[in-house]
């Protein structure tokens, strides 16, 4: 599997551009772990920027998408770095208590040894799954029948051709129009694949599939950096990273690359990491980054819209004064229920009522009613080799650190968001025909995977030291007082 300079540039250019965007939004490298975040989050941001530029500049010449898009990606990167340098110029960033605490922690010899052991384990894990991904073409069913279908067809045809429903395709006179069972699937991931395929010069699936390894590696770096900025000790931050990247189902989605679920999970996780940092330190750039990242979710997969809506609800709750929060929640819930009822009743959008239940575009009809899939869900989470001991440890952590929900507002907001996500999954599996996905052990775990990084973000907040929780609250209150000195305490 040979690679050339162009393919390497397809990896480096998003990294440089995205890192510039992140540093510009963050105002520099300000806290422990920021360098790792700039690299990790930067690559994911840059991949989305590259896909957007390819979609804009190369729909008529998809086989050369990289050649058309890279100048625009480079321009965005140059502008981002100029803004970053201007924002950093003349500023002295002091890490204060966080830096002092990290130095004290680093002096403990056993933690340094443990950190190096964990680092070697993480590197070995990525070498194994990356090597597996580089040796095979697209293998999983949905990967080649849905997620690789559009980019491969567009690459081989040399242009972007529209996909329509089967009935419209039969009656359409244009031979360039295509159809498929997954005709309405979002297309952001397709353009990421086209970016790498066109840089490789051929539809080389192992080279395209390495993007999945890159995405997980980038998120691991970003997560480590954010958790260090949250004042987790280095060994604990890296331990959480290893716990995440060693989960069997996540490894399978990287080694057998092609599904969109991993990208949805990592994008949602990155949005929550940035938003959690906003909750701790009220850094406006992190709020912008969290919102911009979350807005990419519907462009990756249909259920990304659900995760985006849940995220936006909690973001709005965070911005509301405490005395108005309950009333706004009730009013918003009533409004959403009314909109959903009208949409379902009149067949608006992609969801509507039918005789046998609810019909979702491209996914089929799901019957409404109770489905006893508890046994299958328990097996998937606790007995089958999908998640190691994750779902044994998470409830234990919630019980042992329940006090944190009372004392830490950020923990409450993150817990509410995770609760919303799992409530949606419960309704989907237990109250609709999608329960069949749990009974035959197909898509249930893939949907659960999409919220697993969010669970790790919540776990990181629950594991933070109580003293630093108080310190970060003091920093946040000081920042709020500086921004709005007349606001009530």
Is residue 403 one of the residues assigned to a domain?
Answer: yes
Residue 363 has pLDDT above 70, yes or no: no
Mean pLDDT of all residues in the chain?
Answer: 84
How many Cβ atoms from other residues are within 10 Å of residue 31's Cβ? 24
pLDDT at 364: 57
Residue 272 is encoded by which pair of tokens? 């929550």
Give the global pTM: 0.87
Cα–Cα nearest to 213, from 120, 135, 153:
135
Is residue 489 one of the residues assigned to a domain?
Answer: no
> Model confidence over 104-143: pLDDT tens digits?
444 578 888 999 999 999 999 999 999 999 888 888 888 8
CA dist., res. 138 & res. 257, Å (int): 7
> Model confidence over 16-54: pLDDT tens digits?
999 999 999 988 887 889 999 999 999 999 999 999 999
pLDDT at 350: 52
pLDDT at 487: 41
Residue 258 is encoded by which pair of tokens? 């092609």
244-248, 351-355, 416-420, 485-489: the lowest-pLDDT one = 485-489
What is the number of structural domains in the chain? 1
Residue 245 has pLDDT above 80, yes or no: yes
Is residue 488 one of the residues assigned to a domain?
Answer: no
Is residue 283 one of the residues assigned to a domain?
Answer: yes
215-229, 400-414, 436-450: the lowest-pLDDT one = 436-450
What is the DSSP code (8-state) at residue 63? G
206-215, 341-350, 401-410: the lowest-pLDDT one = 341-350
Domain limits for position 279: 5-483
Do 6 and 199 touch, CB atoms closer than 8 A?
yes
> Model confidence over 313-359: pLDDT tens digits?
899 888 877 666 667 667 766 776 676 666 555 554 555 555 566 66
Is residue 35 one of the residues assigned to a domain?
Answer: yes
167-171, 204-208, 436-440: the lowest-pLDDT one = 436-440
């Amino acid at each position: 599997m040979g690679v050339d300079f162009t393919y390497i540039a397809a990896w480096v250019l998003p990294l440089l551009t995205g890192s510039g965007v992140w540093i510009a939004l963050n105002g520099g490298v300000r806290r422990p772990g920021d360098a790792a975040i700039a690299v990790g989050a930067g690559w994911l941001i840059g991949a989305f920027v590259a896909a957007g530029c390819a979609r804009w500049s190369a729909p008529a010449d998809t086989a050369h998408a990289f050649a058309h898009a890279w100048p625009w990606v480079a321009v965005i990167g140059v502008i981002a770095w100029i803004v970053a340098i201007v924002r950093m110029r003349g500023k002295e960033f002091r890490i204060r208590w966080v830096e002092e605490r990290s130095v004290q922690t680093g002096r403990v010899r056993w933690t340094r040894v443990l950190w190096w052991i964990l680092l070697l384990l993480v590197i070995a894990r990525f070498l194994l799954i990356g090597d597996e991904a580089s040796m095979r073409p697209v293998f999983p069913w949905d990967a080649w029948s849905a997620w690789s279908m559009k980019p491969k067809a567009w690459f081989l045809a040399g242009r972007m051709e529209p996909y329509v429903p089967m009935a419209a395709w039969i009656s359409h006179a244009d031979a360039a129009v295509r159809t498929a069972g997954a005709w309405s699937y979002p297309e952001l991931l397709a353009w990421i694949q086209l970016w790498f395929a066109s840089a490789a010069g051929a539809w080389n699936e192992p080279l395209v599939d390495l993007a999945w390894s890159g995405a997980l590696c980038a998120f691991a770096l970003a997560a480590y950096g954010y958790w260090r900025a949250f004042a987790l000790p280095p060994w604990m931050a890296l331990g959480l990273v290893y716990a995440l990247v060693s989960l069997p189902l996540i490894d399978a989605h990287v080694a057998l690359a092609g599904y969109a679920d991993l990208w949805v999970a990592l994008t949602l996780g990155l949005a929550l990491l940035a938003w959690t940092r906003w909750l701790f330190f009220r850094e406006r750039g992190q709020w912008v980054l969290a919102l911009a990242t979350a807005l990419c979710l519907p462009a990756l997969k249909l259920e990304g819209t659900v995760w985006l809506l849940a995220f936006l609800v909690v973001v709005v709750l965070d911005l509301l004064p405490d005395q108005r929060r309950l009333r706004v929640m009730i009013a918003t819930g009533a409004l959403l229920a009314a909109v959903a009822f009208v949409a379902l009743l009149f067949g608006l959008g992609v969801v509507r009522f039918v005789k046998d239940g609810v019909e979702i575009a491209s996914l089929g009809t799901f019957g409404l009613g109770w489905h006893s899939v508890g046994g299958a869900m328990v097996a998937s989470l606790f007995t089958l080799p999908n998640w190691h001991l994750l779902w044994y440890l998470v409830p234990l952590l919630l019980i042992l650190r329940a006090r944190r929900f009372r004392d830490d507002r950020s923990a409450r907001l993150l817990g509410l968001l995770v609760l919303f996500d799992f409530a949606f999954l419960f309704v989907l599996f237990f109250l609709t025909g999608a329960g069949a996905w749990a009974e035959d052990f197909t898509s249930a775990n893939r949907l659960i995977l999409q919220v697993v990084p969010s669970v790790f973000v919540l776990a990181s907040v629950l594991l933070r030291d109580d003293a630093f929780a108080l310190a970060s609250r003091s920093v946040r209150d000081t920042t709020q007082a500086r921004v709005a000195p007349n606001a009530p305490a």
